[in-house]
């Protein structure tokens, strides 16, 4: 059933569908931590383009955190799934409690992964947003909205696996959407990896250090 050995393998296979961006001076890959980092590292290495990190946090439904009711991202962006909120009658107070908790974790991760180093200049550039897969797409929608605030020339979303209907949602939202596999039924992102072990903060920091040797930031 699995398509990918692990996230590094998924990144190499995803990169094979992005070769038209290889070596371009305007391109930068931004990965969503933590699972997107090993995938994006392989993409950036294969394309010979710079790599950085972009932090997004899912807002999980209280008591059912695996179900996303929205997401937040760097830059103060918040995306809410109104269908989920209405169907489950989630109060504004509950939303704010979850958002406050996830905002604290977002800030912790930004400090852990980037320190005081600012996000590279994205204005006028082609930004490729990478994660290890999409389910509802809530986190990626938040990432896209946040990145657009930095006025890039083009925004792409690239993932190894996602349900076809989620990929379709991004077609009018970004300049290009690349989903390497779109299985049906989908089951979940982890179902398509033989090894879907959680990526640790230590692994993220190590890959960020190694990424500095790929291509200098511009």
- Which CATH architecture does the domain made up of 7-57+113-211 adopt? 3-Layer(aba) Sandwich (3.40)
Residue 63 tokens, joined? 């008591």
- Give the mean pLDDT of 195-209: 85
Q: Give the H/E segment covering residue 8.
A: helix 7-15
Select the more confidently predicted residue: 156 or 65. 156
What is the reported pLDDT for 77?
79
- Give the mean pLDDT of 117-146: 90
What is the reported pLDDT for 215?
62
What is the reported pLDDT for 46?
95
What is the reported pLDDT for 207?
83
Q: Is 45 exposed, middle or buried (0-12, 13-18, 19+ CB in 10 A)?
A: buried
Asked whether 121 and 128 are in contact (CB, 8 A), the reply is no
Smallest CA-to-CA distance from 62 within 87, 84, 92, 95 is with: 95
Q: What is the pLDDT of residues 139-161, one digit of tens each?
A: 888 899 889 988 999 999 999 99
Q: What is the pTM of this model?
A: 0.84
């Amino acid at each position: 059933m699995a398509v990918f050995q692990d996230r590094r393998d998924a990144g190499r296979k995803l990169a094979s569908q992005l070769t038209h961006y290889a070596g371009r001076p305007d391109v930068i890959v931004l990965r969503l931590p933590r699972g997107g980092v090993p995938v994006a590292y392989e993409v950036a290495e294969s394309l010979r383009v710079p790599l950085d990190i972009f932090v997004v946090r899912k807002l999980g439904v209280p008591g059912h955190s695996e179900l996303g009711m929205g997401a937040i991202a760097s830059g103060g962006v918040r995306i809410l799934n109104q269908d989920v909120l209405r169907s489950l009658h989630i109060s504004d107070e509950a939303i704010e409690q979850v958002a406050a908790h996830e905002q604290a974790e977002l800030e912790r991760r930004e400090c852990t992964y980037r320190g005081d180093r600012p996000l590279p200049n994205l204005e006028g550039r082609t930004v490729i947003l990478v994660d290890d897969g999409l389910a509802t797409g809530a986190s990626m929608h938040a990432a896209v909205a946040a990145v657009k605030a930095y006025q890039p020339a083009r925004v792409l979303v690239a993932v190894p696996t996602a349900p076809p209907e989620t990929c379709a949602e991004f077609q009018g939202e970004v300049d290009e959407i690349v989903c390497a596999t779109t299985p049906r039924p989908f089951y979940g992102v982890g179902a398509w990896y033989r090894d879907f072990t959680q990526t640790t903060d230590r692994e993220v920091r190590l890959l960020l250090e190694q990424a500095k040797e790929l291509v200098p930031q511009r």
